[in-house]
Each structure stands twice: as C-alpha cells, then as structure tokens.
Structure 1
Amino acid sequence: MTHNYLLEIGLEDMPAHVVTPSLKQLADKTAAYLTDNHINFGKITQYATPRRLALLISDLADKQDDIEEDVKGPAKKIAQDAEGNWSKAAIGFTHGQGMTVDDITFREIKGVEYVYLHKAIAGQPVSEILPGLIDVVKHLTFPTRMHWGSTAFEYIRPIHWIVSLLDDQIVPMQLLDVEAGRVTEGHRFLGRQVTLKQATDYVDALYAEKVIVDPAQRKQLIADQIDAIAKDNDWHIDLDADLLEEVNNLVEWPTAFAGSFDAKYLAIPDAVLITSMKENQRYFYATKNGEMVNAFIGVRNGNREFLDNVIAGNEKVLTARLEDAAFFYAEDQKKTIADYVERLRTVSFHDKIGSMHDKMMRVQTIADLLAKRVGLDGADRDHLHRAAEIYKFDLVTGMVGEFAELQGVMGRQYALLAGEDPAVAQAIEEHYQPISADGDLPASQIGTLLAIADKLDSLLSFFAVNLIPSGSNDPYALRRQAYGIVRMVAANHMAFSVPELQEDIVEAWNEANQTNGLDYVTNQGAVTDFMRDRVKQYLQSQKSRHDIIDAVSGMPTADVSAMIDGAKILEAHSHDDNFKAVIEALGRVIRISDKDPENGVVDSRLFENESEEALSRAVETVSDNFDAQVSDANYLALAGLEGVITTYFTDNMIMAEDLTVRHNRLVQLTHLASLIHQFGNIAEIIVK
C-alpha cells in the first residue's frame, strides 16, 4: 500500500529571489530524509508562492524497509579473556547495538576471529517517521533571517501555518506555537481559509480560492497574458527570464496589464527607461519596429476588478521615477567629464588604499603596460589610455547616484554625448565585465585590457593592505574579479605571467610615485598563489583532469595562458598510446632534478657511456627548437625523448660514487627538467 503526503509551510510574504531556491532546498532535504530513513517514495511535486512552500509526495511506502545487517565488532581475543568471559568491550559493543552477548557469533577474517552481530530491524510505519520532517523545516537555510516575538528562533519570515497530511490523516508536528493541521490559506484578498480533506485536494482546493500553487503553471499564465497584450498592441516584449521568475514569485493569482507614460520621456536613453521599469518597478518594457514605445506591462497579484485604478497607480509611480531620471539626465550634461574626474579625488575607493582618482591613475599605468605587452599601438593604444583616464567618471553623476545599476552604462552614454571616440565609450561600459562567474566578457580588445587593468589593480591593492579573502569571507569580490581576469586572458590567448607582471607594475608605480606608501611587494607571492587557484577553478569548469590541473598549476612562470594551454595539450595527448611511458620518463627526470638540482655546464668528457652522449645531443636539439610559449610541438619534442631517457636511466646510476660524475649527470637532468617544467610538474600526472 502506498500513500500521498502533503507538507506545506505557510509564511508571511518571502522575498522573490528566495522562493525558488528555498523550495528546491526543501525538496532535496526531504528526499534525503526519507532515503536516510529507508522510506521508499515516488515523485515529489514542488509547489510555491510568496506565502508558501509545499511538497506533495506520491507513492510513499507504508513503512520503512526491514533492515538486516551484520555488524562487526572487536576481535575475539579482545572480546573474551582466556577463560571465555566477556570483556567490557564486548558488552559495550552489544549494548550499543541494542543487543546482548548472547547474540554474538564469530567470523574469521584473514586468520583472525571477530565478534559479529546479526541485526534484523523491522521497519516502522511511515506515520511515525514523517513527524521528523519538522527538523528539515527548521533547518532550511536562507540568505537573511529574522526572529519574531520573544523567541530566539530565526527564519526567512514568520511561519503562520503548517499543513501535514498523510492521505486524509494529520501527521502531528509543531514549530514554536504553530501546530500542523489540515487548514491552509487562500489568496490574501480574494480567497478564504481552506480545510483540506486529503493531501491530493491541495492544488484544486487552493485554485478555487484564487491561488495557483504550481510555479510553472503560474509562470506560463503570465507569459501567455503578456503575449496576448503584445499581440493586441503590435508590440514586441522582451520576456526577460530573470524578471519573469521574479514576478512569478511575487504573485499567487497573476493578472497582466498594460500601462503607458508620456512620450516625452522617450528622449531619455533606453537603458535608463528599461532600468526604471525593470529594476525598480518590475515591469516589462515594449518596443515596436526596434524602437522603445511609451508603454509597459505589469503583473498584479489579483484579478481584473478595479484594474483601471491599478494601472493608474502604476503609471503615477513610474512617471515619478522617469521625472527624476529626466532631471538627472539634463543636469549631468551641464558638467564636463573633466569636472567629474576631478570630483573623484574626494571619492574614497577604500580608506586604507586611497581615492577613486588614485585608483584610476594606477590603472592608467597598468593599461599602458598591457598595451605594450599585447602590441597595441596607434589609435587603439591612445583610446585605451584615454579610457583609463576617465573610466570611473560616471560614478559621481546624478544618474548613477540614483540608479547605481547604470554605472558604466551611463559612462558610455555621457562619453558619447561629450564627443569621446566610440571605442573609448565602449571600454568604459565594458570594464565592469564579467560581472559574474559566467557573465559576458568585454567584446572589444580595449574594453578587455581596461577590465583586466581595473581588476588587477583591485587585487594588488587589497592584498597590499592585507585585506585578503579567507574562507568564505570575500567582501570585495576579489575571487570573482581574479576569475574574470583568468577568463579574459584565456579568451584572448594573452601571455600573462603573474609574478613578472607584478614586478613590472610595481616598478612602474614606483617610478610614477603612485603607490601611496603601500607595500605592494610583501604579498606578491600570495597574489600569485591566489591567481593559480583561480586558474584551477577555471580548468575545473572546463572538466580538465584533476591530476593534470595539479601538474600545470606548478608552472614556475605562473602564466595564466600557459597553464590553460598546457592543460589542453596534456588532455589532448592523454589518450596517446605512449602517454604512460612519456609521463613516467619525464616525471622521473622531474623528481630527481627537483630533489637535487645542479646548475652548471654539462661536461661531455665525464660521460661514461653512449646513453649520456645520446641524451645530451637530444636535449640540445630539442632546446634549440623549443618554442618560448607552451605548444603542442614542445610536448611532441619532449615525448620524442622518452626512449633516450629510459635508456639513460637503465645505463646510469645518477647518484654515482664519483661526485664529479654525479654532479654532471644532475646538471644534465636539470637542463632537461627546465624544458619539462614548461608544462608544470609532470610528476603530478597519474598514469596506470
């Protein structure tokens, strides 16, 4: 016999961004609880609105599975003394398992006898297991929490009711003063309380009280309503997935409506209009023939009654926002970019580091260095330099002060209005990218270099004042910024040796007197290690083998591109027939030379056999043709040495008694290892 079980947590309205992840968390933890308690179940259907999280579990087993298992205890010689009396260890073991010494049997394993107990545990009824789900409810995690009344208990919002129904029977559970029952709440304004007769009545009973509990059904209804409005008006609606998800989690009974605003506001840049509608009011904007129209679509949590009043109210609120935007847009243009740049002298980047103007000066220096490294010249170099001179200016404009999410966007807009080159304007907007781990990268080379320079300055500066991320603590998002650098470097195949670049930057800052007395030297190694970890993270996202990641991250140059390219090359050859032999040979060279490195010149007069001469000639040939950058040709050249290396180790004792011969052989291996190290620590690669 199987059952249906309904669990619903009724709360005050949750923030929209919390609803979906909290529902998934509840479902996952419930499934884990049932599995851990040996309860078989079928489908778990998830339901949620701003006021509730609910699960309907179908095909739930009548009871736990019966469990039979053999439990191993101490060795017989520990369990019994010479006279056969049971020891405290044996008695304690059996008591811990809920049994007695009379239940003990012995089994021999590899010549040693051990105590064993055979346990047969009858499964409990599911009705006795389900009350434990209250612990799952209690221990859901949220980004923010609150407590209410005089209790110390914290949750995303106060809990007002719990429904816990196994078919038609209440499964008792309690959280604070809220006891589980069969009563749920309909729509706050359009519905009433609902007493559920059985678990499977849930969806239909609440629908009758103007609550659509299925998020997918609710979302599709919103999309269909918006589509109908768009067709009626010959509009195109950008049905932004994130906005649709957010709106869906703000309503229980959605009704879409169209509103309008004065056409004069269309003179404001589209980005400002969209932000005012989307970010501030949760509206969908409309276009026609590729142009913005003075209309929007909103979604109310209710029916169509008094909809005209709702539309009028929303239009009034939006008009106030647009009036503010129009004012700031006009006022901002009364000042020059130079005025704004000067004001940045009074804006703190961080109180331990300096002003935003100081940061821009440092970034100019980094940008110039990067331009030289990538061979940027002519107009492109000038455009990058100009962008670095002004790229943060929009932070002190009125528009960005009011709409912080428009930073960069308004920088581009105002730069174009001021007559700056479009390449400069584009870089100003792009320097914030990527804004998330998988966010869009800058489309232009100038934007890419400015974005790298800006993020690199932040990284070096915060490390210089010992504000280094630890554990989960990363208040300045340095991990995200460093990972963004790695992604941009990888996408553009840039040579990017972190230690070398740091040296060049600090030297240039010192010459330009831009360090503000900060110590940019002490934590250089920590910055390099931090970047190595971000490269590892990137390679993991590319599904690279863990041992290959460990190998390439050991490259002495800590060159981001080299580590990434090296991993790709090693991955590509990992299926070669000779890969195992090659890695074993090269790895042996690395292990010996890294343990006992010797510098100097190989003396052929000390060679005692042909294998030494053969290795010397082969290494010289490879070295003469070795690419400066990691390449497939370099790997193949090293792989071609496998036979020579194997013979060399067969014919020679590296640690010869003659110290002169020993030194010569270690010098020979150290020279070869310097080539192998271009691919990192090959010895880390696991071959079978």
Structure 2
Amino acid sequence: MTDLLIEIGTEELPAIPFLKEKPQILQKFYQILKEYRLECECMFFYTPRRIVILSKQFPVQQQNTTEEFFGPPKQVAYNGNQPTKAFESFLKKCNITAEEVSFIQKEGKEVLYFKRAVRGKKSEDILQEIVKKFINSLNFGKSMRWGSLEESFIRPIRSLSVLLANKPVFMEIYGIQNEAKTFVHRSKTFDKVSFTSIQDYQNKLSSMGVILDPVARRERILNQIQAIEQAEGIQVELDLELLEEIVAITEYPNALLGRFEEKFLKLPPPMIVTSMKENQRYFATYKGGKLFNGFIVVSNALSDDFALIVKGNERVLRARLSDALFFYNNDLKNGFKTEQLESVRFIEGLGSMLEKSQREAKIVQILGERYQQELVKQLQKKHNEVMGLLAETSLIAKGDLMSESVYEFTELQGVIGSYMAEHLGFSKYTVDALFDQYLPKMQNDPLPRHLFSALFSLAYRLDNLMSLFSIQRIPSGSKDPFSLRRAANGIIRIVAHEKISFPLTEIFTTIAPLYQKFDLNELEKFVLERLDSFMDVNPSLITAVLKSGERDIYAIIQKIDALQKVLAKIDNKELNATFKRVANITKDMDLQILKAVNTEILYATEERELFNQFSSIQMQQFDSYVQEIESLMALKPLLDRFFNVVLVNAPDEALRENRKTLIALIYKAFLRIADMTEIAF
C-alpha cells in the first residue's frame, strides 16, 4: 500500500452542474477501482479549479486473479478422435497447446475448459488508463472542447498531477503532461507551483490561499457568519443550497457584512431576498424577526482590508434594489391589470391567461360550494359572503402576471400579488390566497396555510391537469414538460393536509364541461398513480384499496393508513390464505345482487356463529376505519373454523348457495375498505 494523489486542474467549474454530479464522483472512482482490482479507501476534495482524489492505502499492484475459458462441447470439438476446427479455434483463443486443455461439466454437457492464473499489473502501469476513464465517466451535462482536442469536459483541463508514492507517474491525458505542479490562489500567482510530495502539495495549497477540503471551507464560512451575528445582533438566513454553491465557487472564503439603505425595506421582503440570493449569492439578514438592511457576501479574495469589496457589492445591490423599487411603486400605482391577461397566451390550444384565470375562478366556485360548511366555519362569515370573497379573490389572482415586478422576478408570481393586494386593502384571506396559490412548488415546500387558500392552489392544479389532458399533452416516460406529475402530487398533499373529502370522479365530471372532451378515466388513473410516491407503504396496500372502487383521495389515504396499522399486528400469511379461499368461492358471483342469508337453513354451529358475528358487525357504527377493519378481522378465526368444518359446496343447492352468499356478503363488507386478496405480504 502507498499514497496516491490525483488532481485534475481546470478552469472555474460552474457550481450548479458540478454539485449535481458531486454525489456520484467518488462512487464512480470506486467503481473503476473495482473493475481494475485496486479497491481501497479514498478521499474526494474539490475547489472551483480542481477535482482531487487522495488515498493513503492505494495498492501498488492489482490483485492476482484467474481466467476461465469454456469451449465447445466435446462431441463438437472432436470428430471421432480427430480435433475439429472448433477445437483449434479454442486453442487459438486461449493461446495454448492441446496438452493444456481439459474437460468440465457445464449445463449437463462436457465442454472444453482452460483455467490460468493472471498476475496483477503494477498500479503505475495502468494509472493513465484509470485516470482517463475516471475523467470520461464524469457527467456534468454540457461539455466543451478547447484547442485542437477532440475530447471534451465541462471546462478546459489546464493541469494534471498524478503521484504514486510521491513520484509523478508518466502519462499524458487531454494533451496535458502529468507533473508535480498545481495552480494556487490567483492572488498569489498565476503560474503553476511545484511540489515535492503529496504532503508538500497540501502544504503549498494551504499556505498559498487554497483550502482544499470543502468541509473546512464550509466551517470557515459558518464560523465567520456566527461571529458577525454576535457582533451585530442579527440573524443570518442560511440557505443551505446557496451555502453549498458558495463552498463550490470559493477557495479561500471570507464572509463579510454589507448594508443597503433602509428605504429599500419598503419592498416586499421576498423581492429583496430574491435579488440578493439569485443574482448576487448573498445571504439575507434579520433583526427582531424582520428583514434587516444588511447582507452577507462571501468573498474569494485574499486581503487584509475588504472595505473596497464590501462597497463594490453594496453598489451592485443598490442598483438592483433601486430598479426593483421603481417597478414595485409603478405596480402599486397601476394596480392589477387583469384585463391585459387577454394578450398573454397560456399554451397553444388552451387560450389566453385570462381564459385560464376565468376557468380557475369557476373551479374555485365549484369547490367553494362543495366545502361551504368548512369555509363558513373557518372564515366566520355567511355563505354568500364566503362565495363573494372567493369571486373577488379570483378576479385578481393572476393579476400580478402583468406587473413590472413579476416581469423582473418571475419566480415571485403570486407572492408579489399578495403584497400588492395587502397594500390595496384587500382581505387577509385574499392576500393569503394570492401568496399560496402556487404552493407547493416542490416536494418539500410548505402548503397553503388554510382551506380558503388551498382552493386556489387546487384550482390552479386542476386546470393544468384538465386542460393539458384535454389536448393530449400527457406525460410519457420521464418527460413531463408541464410538471403535471408535480400538480397531481400537490393535489394529494393538500387534500391530506386539509383532511377534506376529494372524490376524483365526481370533481372531474363536474368541471369537465369547461374543457374539450377527453377520457377522464385516464386522468383519474394518472393522479392515483401518484399515491405511490406520496405514501411510504407496501404498494399492494394502495392497489388493494383502489380495487375496492374507492376514488376519494382522503378516504383512500385513511384506508391505507388503517390497513397498515391493523396488518402490523397480525399474521399476514395466514390472513392471505383465508382471503384467497374467500375470493375463490365468490369469484363467479355478482356481489351487487346478493340475496339475504336464509337463517333457517344455517344448520352447522360454525356457520351460525359466523353469521351472528357478522350481523353484529354490520349493525355497528364505527368511528374510524381502524375500528371497522379490526372488527372484520375478528371474523378470521370464525371463517377458518367454517372452512374446516362446513362443506361450502354442499350437494344440496339451497345449502350451497346460502353458504356462498354468506361468504360473499363478508367479502363485500371487506371490499368497502379494500380487496384483501391484492395485498402481497
């Protein structure tokens, strides 16, 4: 075992594509080492100008191995006692003589066989091959060519340092000769710096403005931010994605506090934060729970005086916020220009954004009527007042799309509208609904804060789904350009959070007249398929509940949860055997037209006990699906005794049909919850 260093020196790596590939980089190197029988522990480091692999236990030679060769069957290899061409081909393939061949049994046949030991190659002899394969394995999305090379990479490779046992290994990759030289921080020198060993490499970087370890850079940033917080009495909003991005673009980070004029705090805080984060990679600061007129910028410069750097960043942010304040003040003067949505096309074949907003308004009214009791209770208003507020909110819901502010900050659509509505004196519920109407955008995003807001989010998603399915823009494979899977996921999350009944078939049918005709069953299936990603359960539980015919999303979720809780307490294999027998008995019966059980011909004790217990359950009112399932599950031992003692297919037709009817009624009662035969234990 010995030390290994691989440094691929590049021009500045773009952070976003690099961070997407980062989790796979070391695993890809490990996979290559496995292929070459050089498995060992390695460390992975990076800065914006280098990708580095280090190992303290790198094998000096491949592990020895063996190679096996299987040839044609004996009867093909020989014609009588004479070798055939197939035999000669096997010798040539293995580069051996006839005396070295043996026979072995394989798949019931005696075939030619040869086995030889393979001595591992020295690591230094194959490192060039390994490094080149490693570079080629990295996938950052787009790549580029430079110079006269045909090879491509995310950015031009400018240096290569591969040292084994502190000695450079002779190689050339991408036109770059391997050498014990590296680039340090540009504030120190633009030239390559020589080093004599792996330890010297680390020392040179450290002393010349490069912190190689990203964990150390992250800790440095966090420690500096904490010191600023304590000194200034502020709190810094640590966006972890932004932090990782800054770690990836700095070699020697320094966190600094900048400030902007208090007049800009008149802007909606999301506009300020977005301007700082998205355009400048600044962290927002807060004081007393409110946005503070300061920001954290992380510099990559080496300096004893950062005053000029801070002033430069303050000047850039001031210009951006001045523009934002100008746009926002204009928007407040002009108000919501909803009528101008007519000039903006939604999607080809689906009309304008005005038409989309009108469709959503109608859906909101439909949902408002469906959930009127909950809304009246929540808003503490009369029914007609609630419906009026829904209509008023719908009129301006998409109005901010025509604002100058949203034109500049497209990701803040809805958010800017909510601040405008608040300034213009609209109801708190209207303000909330405008802010929440696009939530959740991503998997872990917050949900609308109350049912009133949730109706606008549901309407937005329902319109997207219905309209795009109506023109056959249906996701296929991994392609989903209009994020319809995300829309379906959002509906499920909102319904589960609000705990509201949401019968898909009924709701789709009610709003279908707003769209061109299409197969509603296809959309229903599409939405229900998203339950798999929402619920962390045995997928067969979802299938079982859906086979019952249930199409109310919240009821489906409740039933699945209840099944999971109950089944966790019982022997599932025995249960499965019982219900398979039940299903086999009733498979040819129409469960919708069952007769009543004739109690006068329940002769066997076991069938009377089963009937009486089942009848008792049927008369009960249950507070939850768990109670109902547990009561039905209590029939299992009675069912087992019934099957063990009673002859279901009795010669007497009346007895036979009566017993099958009893079993069918029990099966039908279970089907109100789930088809138990679908559950895979």
The Cα of 1:527 is off from its aligned counterpart by 1.7
Which residue matches 2:530? 534
Letter in 1 for 2:474: I
Letter in 1 for 2:59: A
Which residue matches 1:416? 422
Cα distance, 1:456–1:652 mapped onto 2, change above 3 Å = farther
Letter in 2 for 1:184: T
Cα distance, 1:438–1:293 mapped onto 2, change above 3 Å = closer
Cα distance, 1:407–1:545 mapped onto 2, change above 3 Å = same
Contact persistence 1:394–1:410 (CA under 8 A): yes
The Cα of 1:631 is off from its aligned counterpart by 0.7
What's the TM-score, normalizing by structure 2? 0.87
Cα distance, 1:352–1:498 mapped onto 2, change above 3 Å = same
Contact persistence 1:622–1:638 (CA under 8 A): yes
Question: Equivalents in 2 of 1:616, 1:482: separation in Å?
Answer: 43
- For residue 557 of structure 2, the aligned residue among 540, 549, 564 is 564
Contact persistence 2:91–2:98 (CA under 8 A): yes
**1:631 is aligned to 2:637:** no
Which residue matches 2:329? 330
The Cα of 1:328 is off from its aligned counterpart by 1.1
- For residue 642 of structure 1, the aligned residue among 630, 636, 644 is 636
Which residue matches 2:504? 498
Which residue matches 2:245? 246
Contact persistence 1:68–1:118 (CA under 8 A): yes
Question: Equivalents in 2 of 1:591, 1:526: separation in Å?
Answer: 30
Which residue matches 1:488? 494
Cα distance, 1:67–1:656 mapped onto 2, change above 3 Å = farther
Question: Equivalents in 2 of 1:652, 1:88: separation in Å?
Answer: 71
**1:466 is aligned to 2:464:** no
1:496-531 C-alpha deviation (Å, 9 max, x unpaired): 33233312332xxx2xxx32xx22x32x22222222
Question: Equivalents in 2 of 1:635, 1:84: separation in Å?
Answer: 75
Question: Equivalents in 2 of 1:675, 1:146: separation in Å?
Answer: 64
The Cα of 1:401 is off from its aligned counterpart by 1.0
The Cα of 1:466 is off from its aligned counterpart by 1.1
Contact persistence 2:18–2:140 (CA under 8 A): no
Letter in 2 for 1:166: L
Letter in 1 for 2:560: A
**1:127 is aligned to 2:120:** no
Structure 1: runs of 5 or more not aligned: none
Which residue matches 1:47? 45
User: Identical aligned pairs, as a percentage?
Assistant: 29
Which residue matches 1:398? 404
Cα distance, 1:645–1:384 mapped onto 2, change above 3 Å = farther
- For residue 365 of structure 2, the aligned residue among 361, 364, 368 is 368
The Cα of 1:536 is off from its aligned counterpart by 0.8
Partner-residue secondary structure (3-state), 1:27: helix
Question: Is the deviation greater in 280-289 or in 615-624?
Answer: 615-624
The Cα of 1:330 is off from its aligned counterpart by 0.9
Cα distance, 1:633–1:294 mapped onto 2, change above 3 Å = closer
The Cα of 1:428 is off from its aligned counterpart by 1.5
Structure 2: runs of 5 or more not aligned: 380-385
Contact persistence 2:607–2:642 (CA under 8 A): yes
Question: Equivalents in 1 of 2:101, 2:581: separation in Å?
Answer: 53
- For residue 525 of structure 1, the aligned residue among 517, 521, 526 is 521
Contact persistence 2:161–2:179 (CA under 8 A): yes
Cα distance, 1:11–1:634 mapped onto 2, change above 3 Å = same
Which residue matches 1:446? 452
**1:313 is aligned to 2:305:** no
Partner-residue secondary structure (3-state), 1:298: strand
**1:456 is aligned to 2:462:** yes
Contact persistence 2:594–2:665 (CA under 8 A): no
Letter in 1 for 2:282: Y
Contact persistence 1:72–1:116 (CA under 8 A): yes
**1:548 is aligned to 2:541:** yes
1:76-106 C-alpha deviation (Å, 9 max, x unpaired): 6766669577777777778767767755556
1:102-158 C-alpha deviation (Å, 9 max, x unpaired): 555566699876766544332222223332231221121124334445666443223
Partner-residue secondary structure (3-state), 2:16: helix
Contact persistence 1:591–1:683 (CA under 8 A): no
Cα distance, 1:631–1:351 mapped onto 2, change above 3 Å = same
Question: Equivalents in 2 of 1:653, 1:671: separation in Å?
Answer: 18
Contact persistence 1:599–1:667 (CA under 8 A): no
What's the TM-score, normalizing by structure 1? 0.86
Question: Equivalents in 2 of 1:405, 1:197: separation in Å?
Answer: 51
Which residue matches 2:32? 33
Question: Equivalents in 2 of 1:104, 1:95: separation in Å?
Answer: 12
Letter in 1 for 2:525: D
The Cα of 1:655 is off from its aligned counterpart by 7.5
Partner-residue secondary structure (3-state), 1:348: coil
1:385-408 C-alpha deviation (Å, 9 max, x unpaired): 543443222221111111122222
Letter in 2 for 1:567: I
Cα distance, 1:487–1:62 mapped onto 2, change above 3 Å = same
Partner-residue secondary structure (3-state), 1:350: coil
Question: Equivalents in 2 of 1:549, 1:105: separation in Å?
Answer: 56
Equivalent runs, 1:99-138 vs 2, <5 Å: 102=99, 117-131=114-128, 132-138=130-136
The Cα of 1:260 is off from its aligned counterpart by 2.5
Question: Equivalents in 2 of 1:443, 1:103: separation in Å?
Answer: 79
Question: Equivalents in 1 of 2:635, 2:248: separation in Å?
Answer: 63
Question: Equivalents in 2 of 1:101, 1:385: separation in Å?
Answer: 91
Equivalent runs, 1:225-264 vs 2, <5 Å: 225-264=224-263
Question: Is the deviation greater in 273-282 or in 587-596?
Answer: 587-596
Contact persistence 1:10–1:51 (CA under 8 A): yes
**1:180 is aligned to 2:178:** yes
Which residue matches 1:675? 669
- For residue 595 of structure 2, the aligned residue among 584, 602, 605 is 602
Q: In angstroms, what is the RMSD of aligned CA positions?
A: 3.5
Which residue matches 1:214? 213
The Cα of 1:280 is off from its aligned counterpart by 1.6
Question: Equivalents in 2 of 1:90, 1:664: separation in Å?
Answer: 74
Cα distance, 1:468–1:95 mapped onto 2, change above 3 Å = farther
Cα distance, 1:241–1:658 mapped onto 2, change above 3 Å = same
Cα distance, 1:21–1:119 mapped onto 2, change above 3 Å = farther
Which residue matches 2:275? 276
Letter in 1 for 2:227: A
Contact persistence 2:67–2:116 (CA under 8 A): yes
Cα distance, 1:66–1:645 mapped onto 2, change above 3 Å = same
Question: Is the deviation greater in 58-67 or in 198-207?
Answer: 198-207
Question: Equivalents in 2 of 1:271, 1:49: separation in Å?
Answer: 31
Question: Equivalents in 2 of 1:280, 1:205: separation in Å?
Answer: 34
Question: Equivalents in 1 of 2:471, 2:652: separation in Å?
Answer: 52
Which residue matches 2:383? none
Question: Equivalents in 2 of 1:555, 1:100: separation in Å?
Answer: 70
Cα distance, 1:457–1:120 mapped onto 2, change above 3 Å = same
Question: Equivalents in 1 of 2:393, 2:486: separation in Å?
Answer: 23
Contact persistence 2:375–2:451 (CA under 8 A): no
Question: Is the deviation greater in 273-282 or in 553-562?
Answer: 553-562
Cα distance, 1:127–1:60 mapped onto 2, change above 3 Å = same
